[in-house]
């Protein structure tokens, strides 16, 4: 016999028998008991009946182990919670247990769930949002930028733009390189990372670089994927490369394509882990909870170590970190867990022209730019890249973190998707089709995007910041203001049934923050320039928030697990110090993140 003693209700008894098959059976009079007892009384009766052993002793609710009752680990209350569910409903409080949202509702209901060890946080009317998700964010590269530029302690003359130095001219470049050489010991390797500055390096002469660093090898790397860009003679000698093979020009410093593998940066896993942890903390302070990115094998090794040790505070969705022989490798898309997952194949960087800011476009340049590197990859490489893309699609791989810039690039990419669908080799039940950057496209292709189920990820950095090296002023000079008003048609996507996302691309301390990208989608206003591009493409705050949360989760197939604040979903959320729905639209980015929670754990708390 078990006696139940719920608060405010008299004692009630249930008798039962137990058979060898492990089944408990109530006595026939249980229906009478149920009709006469309160509903909550019967609930506790069934709970005790289910979990307590046959002992013949009376057991009170107070004696039930806390593991059975399973109180919330954390309760947030007195807030303005924007759930971003289907109805964009709001709430005052939510409870978290075992890394997931247990319940959400008003203060009274949620606070009643608290147990003796439940942590409670008073939100003091602050706004709670689902944690931000970025669908193209080079977090691994940012850690290396920290390591190569910050750790040295040099006061750089050139500004640090996103993930690397930006030099206005060769003399500024030489002065910064000389500062780096002076900070190093004699004979030590000197490494720098630059952002989109190979056009300056193109003008640099080798004798100038050798003059300021005759004994120290110097290698300059690109901001993305740390591609070797330039070197002095001492670095070539140490690498054992014949001078005729090392550089792409007789007297220049740019490293040739065939010599580049000899200059790959070698960094210990321990050092990479140290700097990756710093990058994670920075991302958490912006409210970021998940990124989709490409990383090098060396970067992956560091992220893997953090994952194994339970040290990740941002969820990672990765293109496969290295070359992959797709026909001879099983489809690895979605292998992993909620913290670290391979999300697809490392293909899809469509080339563009350096004269049009890396765009493969039908629009002639009004004033040709001189972008080199990945953004200005020769169009002659498209047949090779097209074959790789087609192969990945035909074998069922998802294709995250693509690079698709320009109306011709978009059309060519969509053609490849349609071609692959006609000749599949391996069918996948969850293959996701995504296209990143998407600054410019033919309006007619939006319907193709909808029909094919493609998720377009849109970079906001270039058009809405005049200070960015390839930013609004450069775009206006190359394409003209009228053409810029056709770019990034965010509202048109929604009007035609396409759920797009917003991306930062590079984790700059200003433009990398999710609230900045959201602000630009809402106001379409340009930092540093009194212009508004395509005012008719403005989004509502609800629409922009969906692009950075629930629709961003769908980009990697995670919409059923995260992206909105609903019971059963991962407890990933961000708390702001103001009213997201009430602050002026051109000041959304001025809101501060005061708390970030990932998997039910506080990973960032302001001050």
Is 306 within the bounds of a domain?
A: no
The answer to whether position 289 is within a domain reads: no
Domain count, the chain: 3
Q: Is residue 10 part of a domain?
A: yes
Is the residue at 109 inside a domain?
no
Do 423 and 532 belong to one domain? yes
- Any bridge partners for residue 596, and if so which? 574, 604
Contacts 24+ apart (CB under 8 A), 356-360: 356/406, 356/478, 356/479, 357/405, 357/462, 357/470, 357/474, 357/475, 357/478, 358/405, 358/406, 358/470, 359/405, 359/406, 359/409, 359/439, 359/440, 360/405, 360/406, 360/408, 360/409, 360/412
Q: Examine the domain organization and report whether 502 and 353 are in the same domain.
A: yes
In this predicted structure, what is the pLDDT of residue 50?
Answer: 46
In-domain check, residue 271: no
Q: Are residues 243 and 338 in the same domain?
A: no
* Binned average pLDDT, 10 residues per bin, the chain of 607 residues: 37 40 39 40 45 52 71 97 98 98 97 95 97 94 78 84 81 94 94 76 91 95 82 93 88 89 87 92 96 91 96 97 92 96 92 88 84 57 94 96 95 97 92 96 97 97 82 91 96 98 86 95 94 96 98 97 98 97 96 98 94
Tell me, yes or no, whether 234 and 334 share the same domain.
no
**Do 440 and 537 have their domain in common?**
yes
User: Which residue from 504, 420, 505 is spatially nearest to 454, judged by alpha carbons?
Assistant: 420
For residue 146, is it within any domain?
no
Structural tokens at position 187: 């004979």
Q: Is residue 106 part of a domain?
A: no
CATH number at 195 reads 3.10.310.70
Per-residue model confidence (pLDDT) at position 469: 66
Examine the domain organization and report whether 529 and 437 are in the same domain. Answer: yes
Residue 115 placed within a domain: no
DSSP string, 232-280: -HHHHHHHT--HHHHBSSSSB-BBPTTTGGGG-----HHHHHHHHHHHH
Q: Are 158 and 167 in contact (CB under 8 A)?
A: yes
Q: Domain check: are 398 and 498 in the same one?
A: yes
Co-location of 320 and 252 in the same domain:
no
Q: Between the CA atoms of 133, 136, 140 and 141, what dihedral angle is there, to the nearest 10 degrees?
A: -140
Question: Looking at residue 327, what DSSP letter applies?
Answer: G
Task: Evaluate whether 469 touches 159 at the Cβ level (below 8 Å).
Answer: no
Asked if 389 contacts 424 with a C-beta cutoff of 8 angstroms, the reply is: no
Determine the structural domain holding residue 23 and report its residue range. 2-68
Q: Could you tell me the CATH number of the domain that includes residue 527?
A: 3.20.20.140
| Shared-domain flag, residues 464 and 328 | yes
């Amino acid at each position: 016999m078990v006696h139940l003693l719920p608060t405010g209700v008299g004692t009630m008894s249930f008798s039962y028998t137990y058979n060898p098959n492990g089944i408990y059976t109530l006595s026939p009079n249980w229906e009478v008991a149920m009709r006469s007892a309160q509903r909550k009384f019967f609930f506790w009766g069934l709970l005790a009946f289910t979990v307590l052993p046959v002992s013949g002793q009376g057991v009170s609710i107070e004696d039930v182990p806390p593991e059975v009752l399973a109180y919330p680990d954390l309760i947030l209350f007195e807030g303005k919670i924007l759930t971003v569910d289907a109805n964009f409903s709001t709430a005052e409080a939510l409870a978290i247990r075992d890394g997931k949202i247990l319940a959400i509702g008003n203060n009274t209901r949620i606070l009643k769930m608290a147990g003796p060890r439940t942590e409670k946080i008073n939100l003091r009317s602050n706004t709670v949002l689902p944690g931000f998700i970025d669908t193209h964010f080079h977090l691994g590269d940012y850690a290396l930028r920290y390591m190569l530029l910050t750790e040295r302690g040099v006061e750089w003359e050139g500004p640090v733009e996103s993930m690397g130095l930006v030099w206005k001219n060769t003399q500024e470049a030489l002065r910064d390189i000389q500062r780096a050489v002076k900070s190093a010991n004699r004979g030590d390797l000197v490494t720098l990372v630059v952002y989109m500055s190979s056009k300056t390096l193109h003008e640099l002469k080798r004798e100038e670089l050798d003059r300021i660093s005759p004994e120290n090898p110097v290698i300059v790397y690109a901001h993305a994927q740390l591609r070797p860009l330039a070197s002095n003679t001492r670095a070539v000698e140490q690498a054992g490369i014949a001078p005729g093979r090392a550089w792409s020009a007789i007297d220049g410093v740019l490293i040739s394509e065939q010599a580049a593998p000899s200059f790959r940066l070698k960094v210990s896993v321990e050092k990479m882990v140290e700097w990756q942890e710093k990058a994670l903390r920075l991302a958490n302070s912006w409210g970021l909870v998940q990124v989709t990115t490409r990383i090098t094998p060396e970067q992956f090794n560091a992220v893997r170590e953090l994952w194994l040790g339970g040290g990740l505070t941002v969820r990672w969705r990765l293109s496969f970190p290295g070359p992959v022989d797709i026909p001879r490798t099983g489809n690895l898309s979605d292998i992993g867990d909620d913290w670290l997952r391979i999300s697809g194949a490392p293909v899809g960087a469509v080339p563009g022209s350096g004269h049009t800011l890396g765009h493969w476009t039908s629009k002639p340049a009004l004033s040709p730019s001189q972008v080199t590197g990945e953004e200005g990859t020769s169009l002659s490489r498209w047949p090779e890249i097209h074959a790789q893309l087609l192969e990945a699609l035909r074998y069922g791989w998802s294709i995250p973190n693509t690079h698709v810039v320009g109306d011709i690039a978009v059309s060519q990419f969509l053609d490849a998707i349609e071609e692959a669908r006609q000749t599949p080799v391996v069918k996948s039940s969850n293959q996701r089709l995504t296209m990143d950057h998407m600054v410019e496209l033919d309006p007619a292709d939006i319907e193709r995007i909808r029909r094919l189920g493609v998720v377009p990820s849109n970079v906001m950095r270039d058009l809405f910041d005049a200070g960015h090296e390839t930013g609004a002023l450069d775009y206006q000079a190359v394409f003209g203001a009228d053409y810029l008003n056709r770019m990034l048609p965010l509202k048109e996507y929604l009007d035609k049934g396409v759920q797009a996302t917003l991306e930062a691309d590079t984790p700059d301390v200003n433009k990398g923050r999710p609230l900045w990208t959201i602000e630009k989608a809402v106001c379409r206003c340009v930092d540093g320039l009194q212009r508004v591009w395509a005012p008719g493409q403005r989004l509502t705050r609800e629409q922009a928030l969906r692009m950075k949360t629930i629709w961003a989760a769908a980009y990697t197939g995670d919409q059923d697990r995260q992206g909105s604040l609903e019971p059963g979903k991962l407890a990933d959320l961000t708390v702001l110090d103001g009213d997201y729905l009430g602050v002026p639209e051109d000041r959304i980015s001025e809101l501060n993140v005061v708390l970030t929670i990932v998997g039910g754990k506080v990973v960032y708390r302001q001050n």
